[in-house]
Structure formats: C-alpha cells, structure tokens
Chains A and B, each alone.
Chain A
Amino acid sequence: MPDANARRFGFETRMLHAGHIPDAEVGARAVPIHQTTSFVFDSPEQAALLFELKEYGNIYTRIGNPTTAAFEERVASLEGATGALATASGMAAQLVALMTMLQPGDEIVSSSHLYGGTVTQFVHTFRKLSVVARFVDPHDFDAWEAAITPRTRLLYGETVGNPRGSILDLERLAALASSHRLPLVVDNTFATPWLCRPIEWGATVVVHSATKFLGGHGTSIGGVLCESGRFDWSHMPTVAAPSGSYHGLKFPETFGHYGFLMKARAETLRDTGATLSPFNAFLLLQGLETLSIRMERHVANAQGVAVFLAAHPQVAWVAYAGLPDHPDHALAQKYLGGRPGAVLSFGLAATGDAARERGREFIRGLQVFSHLANVGDARSLVIHPASTTHQQLSEAELQAAGVGPELIRLSVGLETLEDLLWDLDQALRATSR
C-alpha cells in the first residue's frame, strides 16, 4: 500500500503524478498505453463481482481502461473533483453528463454564450429526446430565475463563453442553482483548471473538451467530465431511483459521493459507447504534464495580442476580458486571476457584406496563424465563426451568441509574440489596400 499523503501536494506536482503510481509488476515511469479491448478475470467469482459493481477493476475498455483511468484521476485531482470520466470528445462529455441527469419532459437552462456545437446539441438533438433547452443572457440573473421551472433539471454555462469571451459569474450562479436544488454544469475548456476551478466556486459538474488546452498539442480528440461529490442527488430520480439495468441498485445510496460518476460510467458511457481510446488518453496525459507552463505562455501571448489589436486602426473592437474595458474584466479578475485564457475575438473595422469579404482577405493574408476549426493548440489558430463553427445557427441564435459577420476568433499559441503581432499586422494591412 502506498503511504497516505499527509501533505497536500501542489497543482504542478499533481499535473505530473496524480493518477499514476508506478506499478509493482513493471515499474514503468511514464503511464503505459494499455491498448487492449478487454481484461482477463481472476476467477468466475471476481467476474461476477465486477459485473455487479461490487468489486473495482477493469472489464472492457468501453467502460474503463488503466491508461484512461490515469488521465481521469489526473484531471479530477487538478479540478478538485471527487472523480472523472473520460469520453471520446468534449461533445460526448457534456452528452454523457447531461444524459445521466435528464429524461423526456425535462428542461435545462443554459447561458446563451456557448460554443455553436453545444447550441445545436442542446436545441436539436435534445429535442429528439424531448428535452427543452432555454437560453438566457448569462449576466441577467432575473432571466436565469425566470427561466427555471419545476421541470428544470440543471443550469449550464461556459467559464469563458464562446466566442465573445464573457465570464460566467460562477459563485452567483452556483448559489442560484443551489437555492433551486439544481446542479450547475460548467464547461471549463477555455480556462483549464490552472486558471479556474469551478468546483471551488460551487459548480457540481465540470466538463471539458480535452482536445483543447488540456491536450494542448492539437493531436487528439477527447473529453472529460468531473463531479464535485458534494451535490445531493437523492431528489433527482434519473440519478437516485433504482436502476433498471442493475437489479434496482440505487447509485448515490450505495456509492455515496461516487454515485453520480459510477452511474455515468456503468450506464450512460456503457450504453452510448462514447469512450476515449487509451492511445488518446496517453497523448492527452502528455499535454497535462505541462499544462501550467503552457497556459502561462498562452495567456501572456493572448494579452499581448489583445493589447496590440485594440490599438490597431483596422480593428473595431477586441473582446478579451483581460482588457480593462471588457465588461467582464472584474469577473475575470475574480475567477481567473485576470488571466481569461487564450481565446479572443475581435471585429474588423467594417460591417455587413464588406466585413465578410474583409474577413476572408484577412484569413488569406495570414502566414503564422492556421485557419482551422479548433482552439487550444500549441500553434496559433484563426477562424471566422459566421462562416464556419456557427454557420448552422439561425440569425436569432447568431445574435444571441454575439457573433457578427466582422468577428474573427483567435486561439493564441506559444509562438514568439513578436511574430504573431507581425503576422496579424501584415494581414490586417492587406485588408485595407
């Protein structure tokens, strides 16, 4: 047995060590890649206990895998969660989290400042499951309150809202959720636990697209959900009621504060099959080991880019809560220590169709920024949301999400800052010729 830690180790130590103790058999220092579908049982008795969830252990990689478990425990440790569940993607993480809580006829209330893919999942896919999503301006607490009905099962928002960089007032929203006995689900993708840990402010579930800054190298699609272990699920029948697929097992009653995550794994992940591959878990672990160092550089470069763009004549506005004139600057100070991630957007000094054309010219002119639909790569990225990530949204949904035709989104990478500024400047100058 390893020693119990009398010391509470710091974030960086846990980035490198949490979730992996070198095993007795081999002693591998790095986390080994357990590229296997299945695990041999010790005995028929052990197999029976595993299937009844009475014994912990590995059965089949769709449900769990040792490499994936190292990734899960590491993220849980960094988020200050009781545990975590890795998924095939960030979209799968929020789907598994929410499907564990929801049933037909339920409603959710969400911030409207969301990733476009999340909006389509909530509006269109959830409609097929007879779940209604209501969207509110995240800063309008009267609107949050008014949107909550007896059918509401959870509140949802992004720590740093996509794509205008709004900051969720986590503490106030968690208090509202708590007063209605609802869990607050927070997408912490843009912040990462290095910059903000929503559970410390009262969130119940944290979801991530690990594809982004957690992995950090643009190699692997993956997601993860974490739970605080502090929410009382006993009044939410989808989680607490006897399970039809486990002989009436009541998950929170039997597993205590692990109940929600055990149910999410043993039922929702089992049945959706939205599993992270062990190889991707390994690659994401390599990213986690340098998370704090990368995020410091990401944020420093993003701040430099934001300041540069704000003073540029071809730029109408910059939305980055690290700038003092951003409406959420104070919230960014409170929740992110004034370091609101490395994704920012700005508006070209043009409107309507002229803005669309100028946006295309700008992207064509860039040499160092990669034009693609992702954020959180070590390399700097650029996209024009109105024609790509947000194109499925209606005009009204676009308006609610705060995406105009002039909006350019950047994910600022780790390159030499002066090179990034040079690239933006030369591409902006090209648009004014």
Chain B
Amino acid sequence: MGSGSGTACDITLNTSLSDDERARWQDPGTIRRILRDTRTVAVVGLSTDPQKASTFVAAYLQYEGYRIIPVTPKGGILLGERTWPDLASVPDPIDLVVPFRPAHDCTEIARQAVAVRAKAFWLQLRLLNREAAEVASAGGLDVVMDKCVKMEHGRFQGGLHFAGMNTELVSARRRGR
C-alpha cells in the first residue's frame, strides 16, 4: 500500500472561502471552460501604471491571445486598446469581465456584466464580494471568486511551471499541440 492520496495538500488556494464556496466559485471545470472559450476580456479599472497588478494581468492575457477591453473613466489608450468609461459603452461582445476595483464596487460591476450579457465574471485573488458573485451567477454568468486569472491560465498553459511554482497538475498524457 502507498501513502494514500490524503498526504497531498491543497496549496494553490490561499483562499478565505469555505469548502462549499470553493466548490461553487472555484470549480476547475468552470475555470478551464472560461479560459478556453473567452476571446474578449473587459478589465474594469485597468491602471495607467505599468507596474500595477492589473497591468501585469492584462498584458499577460493580451500576449496569450485574448483581446483586452480596458474599462476606465480616465480615457485614452491602454495596452494599445481604446478605453471605455463603463461596460455599457463597449460596442463589442464581452466574454469575460475582470474587475480591479474595491470589493464594494463589484456588485454594481456584476449588474452591468449581466446587463451587457457577458459570459463570465471573475473576482481576483482576495477580492471577495459574495453578493456580486450571486448577482452574476443569477444572471447566467460563469463566476470565479478569489482566484487570479493570470495564475490559473499560467497553471494550465504551462508558463507558471517555468517559474518553479506548484501547478498541482499530474498527467502522463502528452500535452496537446
């Protein structure tokens, strides 16, 4: 007999969610579906500061092939893309909405995400707003909370592994081309 599967530990989480909440808001299948099906990502509150986390996430996703739609009242061009003052102003279909705003702003952003018929709503690591998650979910969106979209993409795409991080992926199958 081996040591059993119990000695593995769950370490990527660093989450303050309960097990029930994790099952609901951090479902690996949902995360993979969002990463696979998304083409456009509205980044609400994208910073003009190139060293802020929002820029790191958006620049990464842009290089990985997603189209970034910056949403900020400050106007101008960010990451080569025209900015829009709010989700309702964006003329193109939005697949994923990722707020970089204080938690208390996220319920309203979730309502707007439902109104523009976005397909998914993602609250970043340590950005907790259960009401926002419920609003988006009730509106038919896939919802993730308390996870980083860049970290999750990096886990599955393989890049995070090159930084020496624990992706928790085990597979003897050859990676797809």
Binding site for B on A (CB under 8 A): 1-14, 17-19, 21-25, 27, 45-46, 49, 52-58, 64, 66, 68-69, 72-73, 76-77, 80-86, 197, 199-200, 228-230, 242, 246-250, 253-258, 261-262, 265, 292
Instruction: Chain A residues near B60: list those with CB within 8 A.
Output: 49, 54-56
Instruction: Chain A residues near B65: list those with CB within 8 A.
Output: none
Beta-carbon contact of B175 and A73 below 8 Å: no
Instruction: Chain A residues near B32: list those with CB within 8 A.
Output: 1, 3-4
Give me 23 A-to-B residue pairs in the complex whose CB atoms sit less than 8 angstroms apart, sorted by A's number: A1-B32, A2-B156, A2-B173, A5-B168, A8-B8, A10-B2, A10-B3, A12-B3, A17-B170, A21-B174, A22-B172, A55-B63, A56-B163, A58-B162, A69-B163, A76-B166, A77-B166, A81-B11, A83-B164, A247-B51, A250-B51, A256-B148, A261-B165
B89 interface hit (Cβ, 8 Å): no
- Pick from B9, B31, B148, B164: contact of A73, CB under 8 Å: B164
How does the 8 Å CB contact mask read for B38-64 relative to A, with 1 for contact and 0 for none?
A: 000000000000111101100110010
In the bound assembly, the distance between CA atoms of A5 and B10 in angstroms comes to: 11
In the bound assembly, the distance between CA atoms of A255 and B162 in angstroms comes to: 15
Chain B, Cβ-Cβ closest to A45: B63
Chain A, Cβ-Cβ closest to B27: A4
Distance of A243 from chain B, by nearest CB (Å):
9
- Pick from A9, A54, A76: contact of B56, CB under 8 Å: A54
Chain A, Cβ-Cβ closest to B3: A11
Chain B, Cβ-Cβ closest to A9: B170
- Pick from A22, A55, A81, A199: contact of B159, CB under 8 Å: A55
Determine the interface band of chain B, counting residues with CB < 8 A from chain A. 35 or more
- Pick from A24, A45, A64: contact of B163, CB under 8 Å: A64
Instruction: Chain A residues near B169: list those with CB within 8 A.
Output: 2, 4-5, 21
Chain A, Cβ-Cβ closest to B148: A256
User: Main secondary structure on chain A at its contact with chain B?
Assistant: loop
Instruction: Chain B residues near A8: list those with CB within 8 A.
Output: 5-6, 8-10
B154 interface hit (Cβ, 8 Å): yes
Instruction: Chain B residues near A6: list those with CB within 8 A.
Output: 28
In the bound assembly, the distance between CA atoms of A229 and B174 in angstroms comes to: 29
Instruction: Chain B residues near A9: list those with CB within 8 A.
Output: 5, 8, 170
Chain B, Cβ-Cβ closest to A3: B171
Chain B, Cβ-Cβ closest to A242: B51
Q: Across the A-B interface, give the 4 residue pairs with the lowest CB-CB distance, nearest first.
A: A56-B159, A4-B28, A72-B164, A83-B165
Instruction: Chain B residues near A5: list those with CB within 8 A.
Output: 28, 168-171
B102 interface hit (Cβ, 8 Å): no
B91 interface hit (Cβ, 8 Å): no
Beta-carbon contact of A73 and B167 below 8 Å: yes
Beta-carbon contact of A254 and B56 below 8 Å: yes
Beta-carbon contact of A27 and B163 below 8 Å: no
In the bound assembly, the distance between CA atoms of A256 and B13 in angstroms comes to: 11
Instruction: Chain A residues near B125: list those with CB within 8 A.
Output: 256-257
